[in-house]
């Protein structure tokens, strides 16, 4: 498998970024939802430490993916032949980028405005602030819900193509597939 994509298949770089990002987003959604429900401040700080580091990792991976597509690689030709499905697919992929970048911005905004970064990263004494008091919290929560919806839509479409259409769409986004 080549580092770069060809007209039939995604390359190793694109496939790696895709699957690492998907796994990290699942973990991020889980840790974010978990932290939101935790009452114990020390446990919440530990979960948020993981959440913030993974969030920054996703931000960097997303910026790398955008740069990869803009400057180094071309996407394979679409196997989707129905116009509305093709447009919906493009919209979902674009929304993934927008939501990821928005989630990163709102998360960083919450850390800065709340002053929680020293508690999370330096182990400073104190109690976490109520993040609901800061405007980026609403955008972050909406982004999480939108991310879940996009993830379900994206996964459902991939499974539809794999199970019902049998058009090889999922094999194109895996390692060493032909």
pLDDT value at position 123? 78
Which residues lie below 8 Å from residue 154, measured CB to CB, with a gap of 6+? 92, 96
For domain 12-173, say whether CATH 1.20.950 is its number.
yes
pLDDT value at position 177? 56
Backbone dihedral region of 4: left (phi > 0), alpha (psi from -120 to 50 degrees) or beta?
beta
Residue with more model confidence, 78 or 56: 56
Q: CA-to-CA distance for 81 and 86, rounded, in angstroms?
A: 7
CB 3 within 8 A of CB 13: yes
Domain ranges of the chain: 12-173
Residue with more model confidence, 137 or 79: 137
Q: CA-to-CA distance for 137 and 135, rounded, in angstroms?
A: 5
Cα torsion through 109, 91, 63, 159, rounded to 10:
110
Looking at residues 43-52, what average pLDDT do you find?
95
pLDDT value at position 111? 96
- Kindly calculate the radius of gyration of the chain based on its CA atoms and give it in whole angstroms: 18
* pLDDT tens per residue, range 85-101: 999 999 999 999 999 99
Please report, for residues 77, 105, 115, 119, 128, the alpha-carbon distance to residue 123 in angstroms, rounded to integers and kept in the order given: 49, 23, 13, 5, 11
């Amino acid at each position: 498998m080549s580092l770069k994509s060809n007209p039939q298949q995604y390359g190793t770089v694109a496939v790696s970024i895709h699957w690492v990002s998907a796994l990290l987003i699942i973990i991020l959604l889980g840790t974010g939802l978990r932290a939101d429900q935790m009452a114990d401040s020390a446990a919440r700080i530990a979960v948020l430490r993981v959440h913030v580091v993974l969030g920054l990792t996703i931000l960097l991976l997303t910026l790398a993916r955008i740069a990869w597509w803009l400057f180094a690689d071309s996407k394979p030709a679409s196997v989707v032949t129905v116009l509305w499905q093709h447009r919906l697919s493009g919209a979902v992929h674009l929304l993934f980028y927008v939501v990821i970048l928005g989630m990163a911005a709102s998360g960083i905004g919450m850390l800065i405005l709340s002053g929680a970064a020293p508690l999370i990263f330096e182990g400073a004494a104190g109690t976490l602030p109520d993040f609901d008091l800061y405007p980026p919290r609403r955008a972050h929560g909406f982004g999480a819900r939108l991310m879940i919806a996009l993830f379900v839509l994206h996964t459902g479409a991939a499974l539809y193509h794999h199970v019902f259409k049998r058009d090889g769409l999922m094999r194109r986004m895996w390692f060493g597939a032909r």
